[in-house]
Amino acid sequence: MPRYYPAFIDVKDRTCVVIGGGDFGEEKVVKLLECDASVRVISTHVNESVSEMAEKGIIEWLRRTYQAGDLSDAFIAIAADNPEDVNLQIAEEATERNVPLNVVDVTHLCTFIAPSVARRGEVTVATSTGGASPALARTFREKVESDCPCRMLEYADLAPILSWARGIVRERGWNIVPAYWQNCINEDLLDLVQSGRDAEAQTHLINCLEKGNTNN
């Protein structure tokens, strides 16, 4: 995994391009708008929420597929819900133009990754696992937001096994929603890892994830 340089970026009034308007794209759009970005969505189809934002003039929506040159004025770009060949084209242009790029759930094409963020007043806590396990980052966020983050740092020890499990899930073609990943990141798993019972931890985690496979 690469080592990412942590930073907070001011995107206010800057053009941020999101390629893809499904649920993942919507999530990125909403987070950019929360930071007062100028958002442009490129997609032939978008979900209802993104469509409503476009109709209200909150975002710009180009109703077509990605094409070369779409990142010419981009401050940052995010690719979501795209086929692999399209992601590769976007990554090539981003590299040529030195545009920071996040490709959802394709870490090796990213030049930046979006952390899981917890906010309280003016304080923002961002958590990243370097792409090893987005679900673990979200678990950290939820524990930061709670009033009792007593075991929070111990959960960092789960990064290797969760990264391994992601590989198994991809290999077997399972489809597991993010919320279910988080269900499997629990204190039972943590206790097994902390006590050095790695084989039991792997079996426990894979059995849990298999129950959440929507392709069954």
Q: Quote the pLDDT of residue 134.
A: 80
Q: Where are the domains of the chain?
A: 15-109, 116-211
Helix (H, G, I), strand (E, B) or coil at 15: strand
What CA–CA distances, in Å, run from 88 to 80, 102, 106?
A: 12, 12, 10
Q: Are 17 and 42 in contact (CB under 8 A)?
A: yes
Candidates 113, 63, 110; CA nearest to 91 is 110
Helices (H) and strands (E) in the chain, counts: 8, 7
Residue type, 139: T
Closest Cα partner for 118 from 141, 139, 102? 141
- Into which CATH architecture does domain 15-109 fall? 3-Layer(aba) Sandwich (3.40)
pLDDT in tens, 126-136: 888 877 788 88
pLDDT, greater one: 148 or 44: 44
| Averaged pLDDT score across all residues of the chain | 90
Cβ neighbors of 129 (< 8 A, separation 6 or more) are 136, 137, 159, 162, 163
Q: What per-residue confidence (pLDDT) applies to 51?
A: 96
Q: What is the pLDDT of residues 200-211, one digit of tens each?
A: 999 999 999 999
Q: Which of 7-11, 59-63, 209-213 has the highest mean pLDDT?
A: 59-63
Q: What are the structure tokens assigned to 6, written together? A: 């942590």
Q: Across residues 187-198, what is the average pLDDT?
A: 94
Q: Whose CA is closest to 68, among 94, 43, 44, 46?
A: 94
